[in-house]
Amino acid sequence: GENVEQHPSTLSVQEGDSAVIKCTYSDSASNYFPWYKQELGKGPQLIIDIRSNVGEKKDQRIAVTLNKTAKHFSLHITETQPEDSAVYFCAARGKLSFGAGTTVTVRA
């Protein structure tokens, strides 16, 4: 089955700086890669996704890049704000396998 590895497990950044989270996957048949943000006491919320036919996708301060050859994809958050503090999960679609999560803390 699909194995998704996510790094780092925790990330602390100064407000206004950028945050980058990286994931690798094992199943070369995976074609869809969503990212989820989970705030305390809530279910994961889909924030951005990318399909294998594109290398990069951007939505305001959030961007995702995909390298299918290397089987890795990354989430980039620019100009971080305190409300970006949450746990972020990457996933690879087949049966939607998740990375272990990254706890992001944005220091004011």
Partner 1 sequence: KAGVTQTPRYLIKTRGQQVTLSCSPISGHRSVSWYQQTPGQGLQFLFEYFSETQRNKGNFPGRFSGRQFSNSRSEMNVSTLELGDSALYLCASSELSGYQNTEAFFGQGTRLTVV
Place of tokens 């700086």: 17
Binding partner 1 by CB under 8 A: which of 11, 65, 72, 97? Answer: 97
What is 61-93 written as a DSSP string?
TEEEEEETTTTEEEEEE-S--GGG-EEEEEEET
Q: How far is the CB of 16 from partner 1 (least distance, A)?
A: 29
Q: What is the CA radius of gyration of the chain?
A: 13
Q: Binding of partner 1 at residue 3 (CB under 8 A)? A: no
Residue 78 to residue 55: CA distance in whole angstroms? 18
- What is the x/- site pattern for partner 1, positions 13-42, by CB under 8 A? ------------------xx-x-x-----x
Binding partner 1 by CB under 8 A: which of 12, 58, 79, 100? Answer: 100
Q: Which stretch binds partner 1 (CB under 8 A): 10-18, 59-67, 77-85, 97-105?
A: 97-105
